[in-house]
Amino acid sequence: MNFEKVVFGFFIVLALTLNFGFFVGDIDNPYHHHPIELCAALAVSLIATIIKFGDRSQMGAVLLATSLVADLQLAIAAFIWGYTVNVSDAGMTNETLASIVSLSGGALLANLVSVTLLVAETISIRR
């Protein structure tokens, strides 16, 4: 067993599951979406992206692209959350939270593509 591939797969799947945990719930209910879970999803997604920089194959390029999409959407969601809570006079509204959760949903889709590609690549490897 290759420990490097275990760590690689671990962070890709963890990024997906943390993002899913934040995404699930009523889209406009702040009690269903915790900001620390969003930050954890972003942090693990960034770690997964850094790990993907080492792969020089075509599949590695696609995996990196999906990870960068997830990072971008999660970073924008975290920025909107921070701006809304700390700067905006309106505070967190249902519409703003729905936008944040929607961005997380886009990142979730990118993570799902990444995991699907990883599984497909693993299945196609011949011994």
Give yes or no for residue 126 having a pLDDT over 70: no
Domain edges within the chain: 3-124
- What pLDDT, on the 0 to 100 scale, is given for residue 45? 96
- What pLDDT, on the 0 to 100 scale, is given for residue 127? 56
Burial class (CB in 10 A: 0-12, 13-18, 19+), 11: buried
Weakest mean pLDDT among 15-24, 54-63, 78-87: 54-63
Question: Is the pTM for the entire model greater than 0.85?
Answer: yes
- CB neighbourhood size of 106 (10 A): 18
